[in-house]
Amino acid sequence: MTGIDSKLKVLVDNGLKDLNHCSDEQAAETWHAKYLGRSGAIADLMRSIGQLDREDRPSAGQAANEAKATLEAAYLDRRGRLDESSLARRIEADRVDVTMPGRRLHDGGLHPITLTLRRILEIFRDMGFQVTEGPEVELDWYNFEALNIPAEHPARDMWDTFYVQPPSVLLRTHTSPNQARVMQRSKPPIRIVVPGRCYRYEAQDASHEWMFYQVEGLAVDAGLTMADLKGVLVAFAQRMFWPEVQCRFRCDYFPFVEPGMEMSVQCPICRGSGCRVCKMSGWIELLGAGMVHPQVLRNVGYDPDAVNGFAFGMGPERITMVKHAIDDIRLFYGNDLRFLKQFN
Ligand code: DAH
């Protein structure tokens, strides 16, 4: 016996015991360096074999190799198990619950007034009208003066006005100023529709908003008649509502048309038999219209003896309200999704 055998036995026993306490990869590596590394315990022992008597060396060497193999196998086994458990831990941490319901994405939708505007413009485009736009901050001259509504004229009471820079700059109270703007920058024949926001200094209630939309229409040519105007408006109503809808024209006053009129259609809710929406009359007032006043033509440098025109103006809010039996205009701009979602 060289003593090497018992040293190896102690070494292997301690090594195996220590290894059992290694609970992570780092501890296992430290253990490996201590026992099996280049300057570890086994290597030390192997070096000391050189000092033994010649005949003892082979068996001591064999015993040392066996001890080394035992520790090596134990180490690999431990590493394997540590790797497995750390992988298991990572899998557990990254676990995804595939049964969990996803987060719902809400569909966006177009605003009911946008839908109505698009429909109105589509119908007029089909009849050969071009779509154009104008400024919301407008000059008094276009909003009133050019339209035959001079300062101090009592007709100004029809439009309660927000002034941006009194008395000459204001928020347009209607889209009619675009009649003058378009006529100034182009030559007849003209056929245009102008959608846009309008503003009025007004107390809000179920049928009044301080901001709302209008669509203005204007045609200028030689020899236009009231029949042309009525034909266009009836064709519009038949596509906007239903093909047999009846239209009613009655005299009305607007300073920029002569003669002026309003057009009513059969109530789309009761189709004329009388209901809450039309206040039992069977009719809904829809728009103002008329033949362009000669003074308006003169104001933009046109010769009323050479050309004439017709104009009309309507409110998409009102059209949407009668189509869907909505009784409060404030719903459109209250941003309540429960209301807005119903149109898409
Ligand atoms: N601008 C008018 C309003 O806001 C509506 C209107 C009436 C427009 C008659 C027109 C028209 O073009 O001919 O009350």
Cβ of 194 less than 6 Å from ligand 1:
no
User: Of the residues 147, 174, 182, 308, which should be mutated to test ligand 1's pocket, given the most ligand atoms within 8 Å of the CB?
Assistant: 174
Give pLDDT, residue 46: 87
The CA distance from 303 to 294, in Å, is 8
Beta-carbon contacts of 261 under 8 Å, excluding residues fewer than 6 positions away, are: 249, 250, 251, 252, 288, 289, 290
Q: Is 212 near ligand 1, meaning CB less than 6 Å away? A: no
- The per-residue pLDDT for 308 is 98
Nearest CA to ligand 1 atom 5: 313
Indicate the range of 81-95, 293-307, 316-330 predicted with least confidence.
81-95
The three-point CA angle 201-206-209 to 5° equals 25
What pLDDT band is residue 105 in, cutting at 50, 70 and 90? confident
Amino acid at 302: Y
pLDDT class for 124, splitting at 50, 70, 90?
A: very high
**Residue pLDDT, tens place only, 274-309:** 988 888 999 999 999 999 999 999 999 999 999 999
Q: Is the CB of 313 under 6 A from ligand 1?
A: yes
| Ligand 1 pocket check for 288: Cβ under 6 Å | yes
Provide the residue type at 54 as one letter.
R
The predicted model gives 120-148 an average pLDDT of: 98
254 lines ligand 1 (CB under 6 A): yes
Q: How many CB atoms lie within 10 A of CB 70?
A: 15
Average pLDDT over residues 233-254: 97
Q: Is 200 in the active site? A: yes
pLDDT at 2: 60
Mean pLDDT of all residues in 322-337 = 92
Q: What is the pLDDT of residues 180-202, one digit of tens each?
A: 999 999 999 999 999 999 999 98
Query: Which residue from 310, 200, 56 is spatially nearest to 48, judged by alpha carbons?
Result: 56
Task: Give the tokens for residue 70.
Answer: 């035992």
Rounded to the nearest integer, the mean pLDDT of the chain is 93
Based on the residue annotation, tell me whether 257 is a catalytic residue of this protein.
yes
Residue 246 catalytic? no
Report the percentage of the chain scoring pLDDT > 70.
99
| Atom number in ligand 1 closest to CA 256 | 13
Please answer whether residues 255 and 155 qualify as being in contact, where contact means their C-beta atoms are separated by less than 8 angstroms.
yes
**Sequence-separated contacts (24+) of 244-249 with Cβ below 8 Å:** 246/272, 248/283
Q: What is the pLDDT of residue 86?
A: 85
How far apart are alpha carbons 236 and 316 in whole angstroms?
A: 13
In 3D, which of 145, 129, 13 has the Cα closest to residue 71? 13
Q: What is the pTM of this model?
A: 0.73
Q: What is the DSSP letter of 19?
A: H
Q: Which fold has domain 112-343?
A: BirA Bifunctional Protein; domain 2 (3.30.930)
Active-site annotation holder among 32, 172, 174, 318: 174
How confident is the model over 65-75, as a mean pLDDT? 90
Q: Where are the domains of the chain?
A: 3-93, 112-343
C-alpha to C-alpha distance for 136 and 142, rounded to whole angstroms:
11
Mapping DSSP onto H, E and C, the string for 169-214 reads EEECCCCCHHHHHHHHHCCCCEEEEEEEEEECCCCCECCECCEEEE
Per-residue pLDDT tens over the stretch 145-177:
999 999 988 878 788 999 999 899 999 999 999
Q: Is the pLDDT of residue 1 over 60?
A: no
Q: What pLDDT does 104 receive?
A: 86
| 311 part of the active site | yes
What is the per-residue pLDDT for 248?
Answer: 97
pLDDT digits (tens, 9 = 90+) for 19-68: 899 888 888 899 999 999 898 888 888 888 888 888 888 888 898 899 89
